[in-house]
Chain A
Amino acid sequence: MIRSLLTPRTVAIVGASPNPDKIGHIILRHLLKGRARVYPVHPHATRILDQPVWPSLDALPEPVDMAVLATPAATVPELVQACVRRGVEVVIPIAGGFGETGEEGRQLERRLRAIVQGSRTRILGPNTLGVLNPIYGLDTLFLPDDRLPRPGAGSVALLSQSGAVGATLLSTAASMGVGVSAFVGMGNRLDIAEAELLQALGRPEDPTAVIGLYLESFADGPAFLEAARQLAGRKPVVLLKAGRTATGARAAALHTGSMAGPDQVVDGVLRQYGIWRVFDDLELVDTCLALALAPAPAPGARRVAVVTCAGGQGVMLSDYIESTTRGVGLAMASFSEGTRARLREVLPSFASVANPVDLTGQASSAMYEQALQVVLEDPGVDAVLASVVLQLPFMGPEVLPAVARQARRYGKPVVAALVGVKDTQEPFRTLNGLGVPTYPSLWRAVRSLAAILRYPAVAAAVARPADRPMVPR
């Protein structure tokens, strides 16, 4: 299934349209930019976008791995039947009008389930944004790529139950230069759901390093937890679970029943299985980026050094790092005497050589690199928050590769913040491309660094199947 879902050799697009405004046209256009052989299907048209068109799935000259259905819900059962007949492995009905609309739609879904039962045909969706694989070259998304920018290839996999939220995640990732290994819009999850995708993306040979999910419900809670448990510590799972305030139907006869709100239970259980929970879409992308790029910290790492060029940033960053109420509750590192002495040689005479290091407005790219190197060498520093003020007169774009160079050299987690810069994309893409997670906000940078430093403990506390002696007696 997963090969045909993410790397199909052949794709049929049913409902391909000559009209550039129709989603059947948009999807065809995106598919043609990719690597799969594409078969447009339309009852009458003969050529669309300069491609030969086939009148039906049955008329295709070869079996296809994937069929995208850009036709209304009512037509879907018959088309899925044809997919089963032709041995299509993955069929993606894009249309809404299924279980999300009510009983009639649910009935339609039951019919689809019955049609594929026992066959090799699997369904993604219905009511889904589709699949994107920038590494292989596959784009079935119906949102035009001139309106929804696609992220480049990378190691973050994104799975979303909602199409709109999925689109938000993709455009955020694209604008920050976060590379994606796969995006799957799961839609109504009639068949393919998060647990199976987690397993597939978790295989060692898959290029995915981190999996970020947006869910409003669990298709199968225990299966999802089990899949996540297998990945803990190897490929982090980051979850944005919405629907937190939905009222539970638990009978409240005892104290326990009245206190066990559904979201509180979710919170404890996610922690138990090593799943990193986040609370908004930016945090989801930010955390995936951080965990995908940063090297593993030393055990117990929590002492952070800040290198900045502005006093105000140093004050705010220190608050965010140390505060337990409006911050992440990590520690500001104290530098050794040797580190201070070396900083004094590097920095202007009026700059601060304590943590946070403030290079002042006199900061140059060379000075920044030297200061960063000095603090990274201090054994009392576990990680560095590097805030680079690109607007300063002596600071040039060469500082970006310099930061990445020093980060790589010491293997300690380094997260960069670039705030208020004129070019809101290129510097981020550059640094992220060089392996340093980089954010346009001080707070988001600190929050992401905290995830890097804390994730290993979360993963380590997860029970491996082997160390669970307790079985039902």
Chain B
Amino acid sequence: MSTRVPARLAAAEHELKAILAGLGIKVPPSRLLLPGDPVPGSLPFAFPVVAKVSSPALLHKTEAGAVRLGIRDGAELERVVAELRSRFPDDPILVEAMERPGVEAIVGFFRDPVFGPCVMVGVGGVLAELYQDVAFRRLPVRAVDVEAMLDELRGRALFEGFRGLRASRQALVEVVLAASDWVLAHADRVDQMDLNPVFVREHDAVVVDAKLMAPSQG
């Protein structure tokens, strides 16, 4: 249904996540390895970890084979980094903690041709496009607007505690509000932004993957 247009991200993942962290949004603890940096003997977070090539040229990292999940120890990390560098010699590699999963949400931003900057919130993860369970508002939004969006979802129960799943609706609302304010303040530089998935857990919400597209002109 959707046409994938050739496009370039406005920021590498580690740069965007640094911005998000600066907004008070939780992202996984990480260590960035620039080309030539040795793989550190120890990390400030525990294994298993994830290694990803972090480049604005890589729109779909998983499809490009630029993501390795579940790395169990230092030796495996050493091997993975070497392998990634053999194919992406000029890009940094982002090593991140594997986050404990939660209910997966998607938080998206885009510019509507009629209404201007808008936000989307819904059921996220790899099946987001299959379910299409999302709600929309125009920026700015207030907490009550985000609450209303969550109420509109068919899967709203996911964010209210469903069959033993515990998810902090409040934490998700705070992610949406913080990111919304940033997008609105930088509206001329944001065409689309995906925070997907956001793991919404019992007491917090963490942005596991994030992508930012700049407007194609200018």
Contact = CB atoms under 8 A, between A and B. Distances in A.
Contact of A255 (B115, B129, B141, B181): B129
A229 B192 CA distance: 26
Given A253-B5, A256-B192, A269 B213 contact: no
Contacts of B2: 252, 257-258
Given A225-B138, A268-B136, A256 B152 contact: no
A264 interface: yes
A473 B115 contact: no
B191 to A, nearest CB: 8
Nearest to A469: B142
Interface size class of A (residues with CB under 8 A): 35 or more
B194 interface: yes
B136 A264 contact: yes
Given A249-B113, A265-B118, A470-B142, A254 B108 contact: yes
A472 interface: yes
A329 interface: no
A258 B120 CA distance: 11
Nearest to B182: A473
B112 interface: yes
A221 interface: yes
A250 to B, nearest CB: 7
A250 B187 contact: no
Contacts of B145: 272, 461, 463
B129 A258 contact: yes
Nearest to B181: A470
B174 to A, nearest CB: 13
A259 interface: yes
Contact of A259 (B114, B129, B184): B129
Interface in A242-266: 248-260, 262, 264-266
B142 A468 contact: yes
Contacts of A269: 112, 115, 118, 136-138
Contacts of B106: 255-256
Contacts of A472: 184-185, 187
B110 interface: yes
A222 B111 CA distance: 13
A470 B184 contact: yes
A248 B113 CA distance: 9
Contact of A260 (B7, B110, B148): B110
Contacts of A251: 5, 7, 191-192, 216
B128 interface: yes
A260 B116 CA distance: 13
Contacts of B55: none
Given A268-B137, A468-B140, A256 B110 contact: yes
A260 B108 contact: yes
B159 interface: no
Contacts of A22: none
A472 B142 CA distance: 13
B59 interface: yes
B68 to A, nearest CB: 22
B192 A253 contact: yes
Interface string A265-292: 1111101110000000000000000000
Contacts of A206: none
Interface of A: 217-218, 221-222, 225, 248-260, 262, 264-269, 271-273, 461, 463, 467-468, 470-473
22 contacts: A218-B114, A221-B112, A253-B59, A253-B192, A254-B194, A254-B211, A255-B129, A256-B109, A256-B194, A257-B110, A259-B128, A259-B132, A260-B112, A260-B136, A268-B137, A272-B148, A467-B142, A468-B140, A470-B141, A470-B142, A472-B184, A473-B181
Q: What are the 9 closest A-B residue pairs judged by CB atoms, nearest first?
A: A256-B108, A268-B136, A258-B2, A252-B2, A221-B114, A253-B7, A470-B140, A254-B194, A473-B185
